Every structure is written in C-alpha cells, then in structure tokens.
C-alpha cells in the first residue's frame, strides 16, 4: 500500500489490492468509502480507515471491528493469490473490460433514506469467473429477475423471454437464485447465448448450492461476477446491495413475478431511479406471485408493461447505444456499425475466410474485442462462420447479401 | 307531430313520439340528427327528414329507404302502445329520471373518424324495463364489461368485483352478453344489489336468449334499458353504438378480459375520451383473453391497472360527485351528504320511525327520490330500516351512532 502522500496509479497492483481490502473491510457501495476513493485513491482510503482518520464514527467503528488483528494488505494479497488459483480475476474501473454503465450509480439519488440506501454507490471492483471480457458481455444485456417461489406460469414466460433475448444476441443477466432467476439463466444457456450471474457471495461458492451445476455451466460459457471477495458468504443484506449492480449494469430490466415487498421491487426501484427501461410482466390478479408486478405498474408511470419478447426487444432496442436495429439491407446494417465492428468487417477478406487471430492483427484490435464483434456481425448477417474462419456472406442470385440469401 | 313552425315542449307526448320515430328511422347517436334535434326539436326533425329537406344526402337516402310506405307518426304511436303493454316505458331528456351523464357524449371527439364514430352523440331516448328511476339507478354506477369467451379466471375476478360493488351500494352496469357481462350481472343479483343491462336490441327481447332467465331477474330487481324500440333486432353494428352508452352512463368502467381488437376495447376508448376512470384487470400474458387488456394498458397512460375491488372502489370513490367516501363517524358522513339526502335525513323523526311516504311529504321530495336516498342513507349507517319504517340508528353505549353500534 502507499503512504498518504503518494497517489497510486489506478489499475496498478497497489490499487487493485487496496480495492480488495476495502470490499473486505466495508460492504460494497458505501457512500463514504466510495467518495474517499474518488478523492484520495483506494490505497490512501485503506490507510485512513485503518488509522481511524475518518469523520464517520459508526463506519470507523465497524471497520476497526471487522479488521481486528488482521492486516488488510496481507488479506488482500492472500485473496488475490487464492482467486488466481480458482480461475477468478479481479476487474477494476481502470481496466478496459470495466462495465461502464455501473458508474451511473455515482449520481443515483433515492427517495427513501433507508439503511440499505447507504450502499448505493458504484462497485470498487468486480470478481469475475469466465472468459468473456466483462464490459463486452454486458454491453447489450437485459436483466431478467423475479420471485424465487415462481409459478409454472412465471418460469414459462421467463424462459420464452430469456431464450429469445439470447437468440437475438442479448446477454441475459440475473441473480442466480431459484425460480425466475434460474429459469432466465437456463433458457439463455439452452439458446447457446451469453448469461451473467451477479452473485451476493464469492464467485468460488455461488449460492444457492442447489444451482451448482447451472453455475458451472455459466462459468464455462458466460460469467459469474461478484463484488465480494472469494469465500464471502451470501448474507441476507448483501442481496439488496447486489441488486443495484443488476439494475445498473444492463440496458434494461424485466421483472416477471414478484410478491408484495420483494427484492425484485427494490431492484426495479433502482432501475427506475437510473432512468433505465423498467419492464414488468403482469399475471393473474389471483396469483400472489404477481402482486408485486402489479404494484410496480400501478405506482410507476415510467414502468412498461411487457407481455413477451417482442415488447422487451422493442423497449431495449430503442436504447441500443452500440448497435442499431436491423435495417433493410446489408448496406444499412453496415452504416449502423460502431467503429470497432467496422474495422473488423473491413479486415474480413473479400474472398475466402480468415481466423479471428488474423482479423485481430489486420484490424489492430485485441482478440477478445474481435471475437465479440464477430459474434455480433454474424448475428447481423454481415459475416458468416465457416470451418476455416469468418467470411463475407455469399451474394444471392439477385445481388443482395445476407444470411437469408446464403443459408 | 308538429308543423315546422310550432316548437313542441320537450317531454310532451309529441316530443316523445318524435324521438321514438327518429330512433326507428336512423340509428341512435347520429351526429346530424342529434344536432337537428338540439336546434329544431324532435318533431320538426322528423318532418324535415320525411320531407327530404336535409343537406346530408346519404342520411336522407337511408331515411327514406327505411321509412318506405310507413308513416313514422303511426309507427311511433303503435310502438308506444305495444311498449306499455310489455311494461316498458320511454325516458327522454326532459324527464326527471334521465341519466344526465350520457349528455357528455354531446362533446365527445374521437381521433379515428371510422364509420361507427358517426353514431357517437347522446341518446335521444331510452326504453326502460324495471321500476327503479333510471337516473337514480345510474347515479353511483360502474360498468363491468369484457369478453364473451371469458375464462374461468375472468369470470371469477368479475364476480368478486361486481359482488363487492353491489355490496358497497354501487349499481353494476353491463351489456347482458355471455361471459364477463353475465358474470357481472349475476354477481350483483347474488349480492342483492342493483344491476342494469344496456341492450343493443329491444327490451322486450333481450339478447342473447340463453341469458333469458337472467334478464327476467334483472327486469324484476334492476333495469333493462335500450335506445332501440321494442322488437328491434340485435344487429351487429348496434353493439358498437350501444357501447358509448355503457361508457357514458357510469362513473367508471372496468374491463376484465378482452381479446385483441374486441368490442370492450372500443368501449374503453369511449371511456378514455370522456375522461372517465378506465380500469383494466391484467391477466396471464399466455391468455388470449387478456391480450386486449394489456394492449389498453400499454397504449393508454390514462388507464388504471386494477387487481380487484379495493382498487376499483379507490378509483371510482374519488369521482363520487354525489356521495362521499365513508368517513370516520356519523357527523362526518352527514357533512358529506348531498342536499336531497340531507333533506330526507332531516325528515326522519328523532324518536320512532316514519314510512317513506311520510318522509316524502315532510321533505317535499318525490317518493322515488326518497326511496333511493333512504337506500344510500341506510348503506351509510345514517338511518335504519324497521318494520314500521325508517328511523335514526340507536346510539351505542359510548354515544356514537352507526350500523356497527346498532346491529
């Protein structure tokens, strides 16, 4: 760690270790700690907390009680070493793969001052298991959340929506719980899509254990992420702290079933406060599992009633910051590309195919960026995947190009 | 009928007969005919139509084709005689019992100019079977409408809402159809409440015949009403014309189940255009019978999602023009009374009971007005019904009065 007078560059080993120490000392999202990190950097913040040099007495007492005889620097180093053995990495705001949307929590203001609203600021770091770059995985993503005690109806509707989102190239984000969350993850996996579980415990011990096989599949093809260091327990209050990340990291959020006063309602209040699309699936008024959904729709003119995938795509499609709606022909689709996608597309040879590694070299981009862009370009019908790499689609007899014409 | 130069007093026999003739010559709600009646009176309008002296050529041709060799004056007299034999009466705007709310159709403007929107003006007259004064019956009323092909879910929810409305002294209005309409009428009857069926055919032959026993019960305890003269057939387009009366005659309207592009949606568009409470019950997104309800909620920020009786009472309670929400004690309830109710209450003797006829004399009000007010006052716990008439509630031991204390 640094001394008080030396600022440590963000993203350095010291910065990472300090952020790990901070999430071990104080629950993530803490307003005071986050502000101190913004002003003084993470290492300096650790020093001040350990020295007892902060004005917030309650926070100071909690930190010292938590630290006890432990040295936070050594704890952090030990945690980072263990995480590496487990195949988990830490991502901090200075990293390319940091998911920028979560930083909008920096200015989130909530009406009710309740205890849990103290923990509403952006994450200091995120632990990740899985190989996709985190930011890319969340770029076009939709949260699908709801009741643990979901009904058959809720799980069916969730499955339809999540499967369709994955088919359309959207990452499905949820909390890994039983019920709606698991139905969302499983449908995305079944569609061969990308899914991200945002956990309220360590990524080495995803909760609940009953979903262990599902979590392994998510770690293999998608991502398990958490603000808490490996081996952290899923304490009850952590789910509410976690929910703000589900709300802030994605383009929009769908709630499928929710009982009165459930956690999904709190997630949706975050979504609404952030001005993101808040999509609610109604249900039978005779079902206790839809009471919360109907409450949300009655209380929030800004919430959108959705009855299935078309409404969800219509809603989040409007928000697409990086990717336009499918247009009429390949020329229109090309025009709508972001710069990186355009570079990748230009690198694809006019005849024959090229492997992603070659394309990365030609385009001057990182391999992971190229992989992500290729996946989107393929969905848009602008490239096609072959045994020997990626190629432009073969023109159809009438001169147009596109997946319709070539498959 | 009158000559062109003599204005006939509204409500006179000539006025009544002319209105009957007009609804026989032209479908109700016609903009041109209604405006002519406003300007020149009903008898003069009949004369002009029969003389071929109106500028609207299409309307003129339709009238003459319809009239054929018949004399509209004789048709009207015959119809009025037949109606009297059937126990049906005609109510016109000049009558005390005319339901004033329907006159708000005079200024209704709709976005879509479709054919059926030509028939959107107030009724010229209403045929009534049943003994309640029409205006009183509709004073505190809620329409409950929806799909004919209702599901068990829809009928259950309808029954709960309609039964509760009747228990709370609200008249339940619907269209007499199978499905949601019938469930609403039957629940109101089961609760011993008042229910009104607004028909698209003659009140002597309520449609559908499968609901005949229900219609007989409604005629005995509530009202069957229609704009069309006795023996008129339930032609398809008449249901759409009829719907504007359901929308305009009541405090608010609840749609429980509706398929895409159903008649209930058209009713609700009228309700919204009139600025009345438009209450929609959601359902499973997997049910075709809820598609229309969800469409309405998505398309109309002014529509209110309701999940049951409490939401409906909360919504229409706010609109109560004649009657306040139950307040905390009898004094508060008295303060909230309209003038007629206050007169009736003042006429009730401090000791003993009085019969409605005596109360009518003392209050200087019509007997039917007194009967209606007594019913409301009894619901509010401000009077109680005894074998020898109506009396003030006996004070309870703690000095308060009210139905809780006296029953």
Tens digits of per-residue pLDDT, B354-371?
A: 888 888 888 878 887 788
**Poorest-pLDDT segment among A205-219, A381-395, B318-332:** B318-332
For B303, nearest residue in chain A (alpha carbons):
A298
> What pairs with residue A305 in β-bridges?
A280
Q: What is the mean pLDDT of residues A352-368?
A: 84
Q: Cβ atoms within 10 A of the Cβ of B223, count?
A: 24
Shortest Cα distance, chain B CAs vs residue A291, angstroms: 8
At B400, the pLDDT band (50, 70, 90 cuts) reads: very low
**Predicted local confidence at residue A281, as pLDDT:** 98
Out of A128-142, A390-404, B82-96, which region has the weakest mean confidence (pLDDT)? A390-404
pLDDT band for A364, please (50, 70, 90 cuts): confident
Write out the E strands in A252-367: 252-255, 278-280, 304-305
B305: nearest CB among A294, A304, A311:
A294
Cα dihedral sign, B222-B227-B232-B238: negative
Q: Which residue has the higher pLDDT, A176 or B383?
A: A176
Q: Are B122 and B224 in contact (CB under 8 A)?
A: no
Query: Please, is B113 exposed, middle or buried when counting C-beta atoms within 10 Å of its C-beta (0-12, 13-18, 19+)?
Result: exposed
To the question of domain A330-406 being in CATH 1.10.520.10, the answer is: no
In chain A, residues with a C-beta closer than 8 Å to the C-beta of B283 are: 282-285
A298, B304: Cβ pair inside 8 Å?
Answer: yes
Per-residue buried b or exposed e for B292-308, using 16+ beta carbons within 10 Å of the residue's own CB = bbbbbbeeeeebbbbbe
Q: Which of A157, A285, A311 shows the shortest C-beta gap to B282?
A: A285
pLDDT digits (tens, 9 = 90+) for A154-185: 999 999 999 999 999 999 999 999 999 999 99
pLDDT tens for each residue of B132-180: 999 999 999 999 999 999 999 999 999 999 999 999 999 999 999 999 9
From B139's Cα to the closest Cα of chain A, the distance in A is: 27
Q: Report d(CA A3, CA B343) in Å as an integer.
A: 86
In this predicted model, what pLDDT tens digit does every residue of A230-244 receive, in sequence order?
999 999 999 999 999
pLDDT digits (tens, 9 = 90+) for B248-297: 999 999 999 999 988 889 999 999 999 999 999 999 999 999 999 999 99
Q: Is the CB of residue A157 less than 8 Å away from at least one CB of chain B?
A: yes
Architecture of the domain delimited by A107-319: 3-Layer(aba) Sandwich (3.40)
Kindly give the pairing relationship between strand B278-280 and strand B252-255.
Answer: parallel
Min CA distance, B195 vs chain A (Å)?
Answer: 24
Distances from the Cα of B13 to the Cα of A314, B33, B41, B382, angstroms: 60, 19, 13, 40
Plot region of A11 (φ>0 → left; ψ -120 to 50 → alpha; else → beta): left
Cβ proximity of A256 and A158 under 8 Å: yes
Question: pLDDT at position B397, please?
Answer: 41
Give the model's pLDDT for residue A52.
Answer: 87
CATH 3.40.50.450 domain extents, chain B: 115-316
Put simply, the chain B residues between 288 and 317 with a CB less than 8 A from any chain A CB are 290-291, 294, 297-298, 301, 304-305, 307-308, 311
Res. B110 pLDDT band, cuts 50 70 90: confident
- Output B79-84 pairs: Cβ under 8 A, ≥24 positions apart: B79/B20, B79/B24, B79/B229, B79/B230, B80/B16, B80/B17, B80/B20, B82/B230, B82/B231, B83/B127, B83/B204, B83/B229, B83/B230
Check residues B346 and B214 and name the one with the higher pLDDT. B214
| Better-predicted residue by pLDDT, B353 or B146 | B146
Q: Is the pLDDT of residue A17 over 50?
A: yes
pLDDT of residue A397: 41
Which chain A residues are Cβ-neighbours of B290 within 8 angstroms?
Answer: 282
**d(C-alpha B241, C-alpha B124), whole Å:** 13
CB contact under 8 A, B285 and A157: yes
Of the candidates B315, B265, B314, B269, which has an alpha carbon nearest to the alpha carbon of residue B290?
B265
pLDDT over 90 percentage in chain A: 65
Cβ–Cβ gap B307/A294 under 8 Å: yes
**Separation in Å, CA of B307 to nearest CA in chain A:** 5
Q: Please give the residue that has the higher pLDDT: either A68 or A272.
A: A272
Residues of chain A with CATH 1.10.10.10: 330-406
pLDDT at A367 (0 to 100): 81
| In the predicted structure, residue A229 carries a pLDDT above the cut 50 | yes
Domain spanning B115-316: CATH 3.40.1190.20: no
Task: Report the pLDDT value the prediction gives residue A5, as an integer from 0 to 100.
Answer: 42
Question: Could you tell me whether strands B126-129 and B141-145 are parallel, antiparallel, or unpaired per DSSP bridges?
Answer: unpaired
Mutation target for A interface from B160, B277, B305: give the one with most A CBs within 10 A.
B305
Residue with the bigger pLDDT between A167 and A352: it is A167
Outline which parts of chain A fall under CATH 3.40.50.450.
107-319
Residues 92-131 of A with CB under 8 A from B: none
More confident residue, B374 or B324: B374
Q: Distance between CA atoms of B392 and B394, rounded to whole angstroms?
A: 6
Which has the higher per-residue pLDDT, A249 or B396? A249
Quick one: average pLDDT of B223-244? 95
- Digit-coded pLDDT (tens) for A22-76: 999 999 999 999 999 999 999 999 999 998 888 888 899 889 888 887 888 899 9
H/E segment holding residue A240: helix A236-249
pLDDT at res. A335: 53
pLDDT of residue A7: 64
């Amino acid at each position: 760690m640094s001394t008080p007078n030396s600022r440590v560059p963000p993203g350095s080993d010291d910065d990472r270790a300090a952020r790990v120490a901070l999430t071990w000392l104080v629950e993530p999202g803490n307003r005071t700690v986050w502000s101190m990190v913004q002003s003084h950097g993470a290492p300096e913040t650790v020093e001040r907390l350990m020295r007892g040099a902060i004005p917030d007495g309650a926070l100071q007492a909690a930190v010292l009680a938590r630290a006890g005889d432990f040295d936070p620097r050594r704890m952090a180093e030990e945690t980072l070493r263990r995480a590496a053995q487990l195949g988990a990495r830490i991502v901090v705001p200075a990293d390319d793969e940091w998911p920028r949307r979560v930083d909008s929590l920096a200015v989130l203001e909530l009406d009710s001052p309740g205890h849990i609203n103290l923990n509403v600021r952006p994450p200091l770091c995120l632990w990740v298991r899985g190989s996709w770059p985190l930011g890319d995985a969340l770029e076009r993503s939709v949260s699908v959340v709801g009741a643990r005690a979901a009904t058959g109806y809720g799980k069916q509707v969730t499955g339809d929506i999540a499967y369709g989102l994955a088919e359309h190239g959207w990452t499905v984000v949820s909390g890994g719980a039983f019920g709606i969350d698991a139905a969302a993850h499983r449908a995305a996996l079944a569609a061969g899509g990308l899914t991200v579980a945002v956990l309220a415990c360590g990524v080495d011990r995803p909760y609940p254990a009953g979903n262990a096989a599902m979590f392994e599949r998510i770690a293999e093809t998608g991502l398990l992420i958490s603000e808490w260091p490996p081996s952290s327990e899923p304490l009850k209050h952590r789910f509410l702290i976690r929910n703000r990340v589900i709300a802030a990291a994605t383009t929009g959020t769908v709630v499928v079933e929710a009982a009165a006063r459930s956690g999904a309602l709190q997630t949706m209040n975050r979504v609404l406060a952030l001005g993101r699309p808040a999509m609610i699936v109604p249900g039978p008024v005779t079902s206790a599992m839809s009471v919360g959904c109907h409450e949300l729709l009655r209380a929030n003119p800004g919430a959108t009633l959705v009855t299935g995938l078309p409404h969800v795509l219509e809603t989040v499609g409007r928000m697409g910051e990086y990717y336009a709606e499918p247009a009429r022909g390949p020329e229109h689709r090309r025009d709508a590309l972001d710069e990186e996608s355009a570079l990748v597309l230009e690198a694809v040879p006019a005849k024959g195919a090229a492997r992603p590694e070659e394309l990365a070299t030609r385009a001057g981009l990182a391999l992971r960026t190229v992989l992500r862009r290729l996946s989107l370009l393929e969905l848009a019908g602008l490239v096609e995947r072959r045994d020997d790499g990626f190629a432009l689609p073969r023109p159809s007899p009438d001169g147009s190009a596109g997946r319709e014409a070539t498959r």
